[in-house]
Amino acid sequence: MLNIGIEQEFVFADESGQYLDADNTSYSVFSNIVDQLSAHEGDDSVLECKSLEQYPKRCYVEGFERHDPEGNVIETIPKGLEIRTLPHESVDSLVVEFRSTYADVMRQARQAGLSPVLTSMHPFKSSLELNGRLDATEQRVRTESRLAVAKRSMLTHGLHVNVSVAGYSAEKMQGLVEKINYYTPSLVPWSFSSPFCNGVVFDGLCARNHSRAGTRSMAGLDNRHGIQVLEFRGFDALSDTRLLTALLKLFFGFLMDKSLQGRASAQDPGRLIRSSLYGFSDPEFRAEGLAILKGAKPALAEDPDSLELLEGMLEHNDSSSARMKQCYADSGNIMDCISGRYDF
């Protein structure tokens, strides 16, 4: 039995249309929203406390966590909010939970004068002024490479998928990681939503993956509450219910598939970069995308139409990035093109 849960990061604009980030926003802007949300009894048996939480909620302030010399979190430098779900046996029930939390979060955000903007890479900056807020403690708590990853992650936002499979050995779970490593460049183009960086249009479709190819594995195993969990961090932030449902069902079918034979001990940075530039217009990734769709279908036999949206997107190399780039060609305004795009 496969259980699946997700985490998606959200960034915001204020009432003036300003894009909010760690340089211009305080922790309280976001924590005040989270404080208004309900906690759910029993969630602490599944979810971990994040940021400065005393009890885990299904939404928390996402950002750079600073620590004291003992490793305790003392501050979160914010980048936005993250919505997470419990693990579910079905994609449909997961989506119901996610949409409910999303509605609660965005109701509170609107009351605070904030609106979510769809992007998976900071559209205006390549760095944030964090160094003045860090000290030697950070070097003791994190290795230099992990500190670099954490600082870089303040500029990127995405969807993480967490999977556990009952009865799977560590060897079989590692086999899934190696399968994901190989096929990531052909799994992610459906999700692309990062067409801007440094205040200009990116010369491709996914500035996020282009910037981090080779810097951090997008798939790995983690032990959570005694359960081995596979986390996939390759998808950009998703825009709507139809895409979220279809892509999660594809991922479920992909993991259960027995026909796809590609395996890799690590992801290939060159293929990831090429994928981020061209998506499904690249013949190799187009062919692999079609193979992934075909391989996933047997596990989705009871829901034969669930992948129609993705089939059409692959045919036309369609994505949120492609649509936002067309918007920019018409309007010339990045904020206009990343605003008003969520539909959960």
Buried b (16+ CB within 10 A) or exposed e, 71-103: eeeeebbbbbbbbbbbbbeebeebbebbeebbe
* Other CB atoms within 10 A of residue 265 CB: 9
Q: Which of 165-169, 279-283, 310-314, 321-325 has the lowest mean pLDDT?
A: 165-169
pLDDT tens profile 132-175: 666 666 666 667 777 777 778 899 999 999 999 999 999 999 99
Domains and CATH numbers, the chain: 2-338 (3.30.590.20)
**In sequence order, what are the beta bridge partners of 194?**
206
Query: Do 230 and 211 contact (CB within 8 A), yes or no?
Result: no
Q: If you average pLDDT over every residue of the chain, what do you get?
A: 94
Which residues are paired to 162 by β-bridges? 5, 231
Please name the helix (run of DSSP H) or strand (run of DSSP E) that holds residue 151, with its range, or none. helix 144-153
* Cα distance between residue 11 and residue 79, in whole Å: 7
8 Å CB contact between 80 and 10: yes
Q: Which of 321, 285, 335, 278 is nearest to 18 (CA)?
A: 335
Q: How confident is the model over 291-308, as pLDDT tens digits?
A: 999 999 999 988 989 999
Two tokens at 75?
A: 């501050």
pLDDT band at 225 (very low <50, low <70, confident <90, very high): confident
- Residue 71 above 90 pLDDT? no
pLDDT of residue 72: 81
Tokens read off for 118: 């769809």
Rounded distance between C-alpha atoms, residue 1 and residue 263, angstroms: 23
Mean predicted confidence (pLDDT) in 202-210: 97
For 83-115, the pLDDT digits (tens) are 999 999 999 999 999 999 999 999 999 999 999
Q: What angle do CA 25, 27, 29 make, to 5 degrees?
A: 65
What mean pLDDT do residues 223-236 have?
Answer: 94
Cβ distance 92 to 13 under 8 Å?
no
User: Per-residue confidence at 326, pLDDT binned at 50, 70, 90?
Assistant: very high
Please tell me the predicted confidence (pLDDT) of residue 134: 67
* 314 in Cβ contact with 280 (< 8 Å): yes
- 235: pLDDT strictly greater than 80: yes
The pTM of the full predicted model, rounded to 2 decimals, is 0.95
Instruction: Locate 262 and state its tokens.
Output: 């590609």
Total residues found in the chain within this entry: 344
pLDDT score for 336: 98
The one-letter code for the residue type at 122 is H
Token pair belonging to 113: 């004068």
pLDDT tens for each residue of 8-65? 999 999 999 999 999 999 999 999 999 999 999 999 999 999 988 999 999 999 998 8
Lowest mean pLDDT among 11-15, 69-73, 175-179: 69-73
User: Tokens 């993250």 — which residue?
Assistant: 82
Kind and range of the H or E element at 116? strand 115-117
Are 10 and 114 a contacting pair, CB within 8 Å?
Answer: no
pLDDT attached to residue 145: 72
